[in-house]
Amino acid sequence: MPDDQAPPLPAAGLHQHRNVSGGGFRAAIFGLSDGLVTNVSLILGVAGAHPSAPFVRLAGVAGLVAGAFSMAAGEFVSMRAQSELMLRELDVERAALVKWPKDERDELIEIYRRRGIGRGVAERLADEVMADPELALETHAREELGFDPRAIGSPIQASISSFLSFALGALLPLIPWLIGSGVGAVLASVVIGALTAFVVGLLLGQLTGRSRWRSALRQLVVAALAAAITFAIGRAVGLGTGTA
């Protein structure tokens, strides 16, 4: 086999990567987790002060709606600002490739050299890249700016994913209060919140390739701590105001 020809990958080496750079996946996961932790904490915090069931339901619905819109708006603004910054830097790089192609070629050669590639190979690589304007822009964006211009992400996609996932996460611990009240609803919210947090952790572990059980336990501990603290605060406030 010639030296410049790489051996074919074995069948076991063929694999596909998930697209996790567009923003939608990240927003969905964080939205679901934030919606769950936020609303289960809010519901238990209010319930800890011993108000009536309609008041707890109102607080839960308000938390769901306000939180979902807040998450969606924040995700849209942050992703929009990030994408606009990236597009501006791409415009600057595109103009530099047109005005100073030799300087950009030399810059690319130096980048390859710093990575341990010999000068001759680095020069040939740079010539191949610079021969295609789009490839040159993509390569300089990755090597100089640190991002792939094809994976900037969609602010709208991230915003919608964040809204829907937060609403789902916030709705689950609210369900017992839509059909019941009292201690039974509190316990049901705790169970639903714990099970959902555990499942979210398992999914995160599966998708990231990390330990599923460690990820699940971490997610459960975070949700439990937040819920316990807010319940204790609600309980203390309720006792302090004589509503117990």
Question: pLDDT value at position 11?
Answer: 45
Question: pLDDT value at position 53?
Answer: 87
Helix residue ranges, H only, the chain:
24-48, 53-99, 101-114, 119-130, 133-140, 155-171, 175-179, 182-208, 212-240
Is 112 within 8 Å of 126 (Cβ atoms)? yes
Is 205 within 8 Å of 215 (Cβ atoms)? yes
DSSP state of 5: S
Is 167 within 8 Å of 35 (Cβ atoms)? yes
Confidence of residue 164 (pLDDT cuts 50, 70, 90): very high
83 or 147, greater pLDDT: 83
> Which of 56-60, 142-146, 155-159 has the highest average model confidence (pLDDT)?
56-60
User: 197: closest CA among 47, 64, 33, 78?
Assistant: 33
With a cut of 90, say whether residue 85 has pLDDT above it. no
> Which of 134-143, 186-195, 231-240 has the highest average model confidence (pLDDT)?
186-195
- Average pLDDT rounded to a whole number, residues 114-138: 86
- Average pLDDT rounded to a whole number, residues 30-41: 88
Confidence of residue 240 (pLDDT cuts 50, 70, 90): low
Nearest-angstrom CA–CA distance, 146 and 148: 7
pTM above 0.85, yes or no: no
With a cut of 90, say whether residue 154 has pLDDT above it. no
Question: pLDDT value at position 239?
Answer: 57
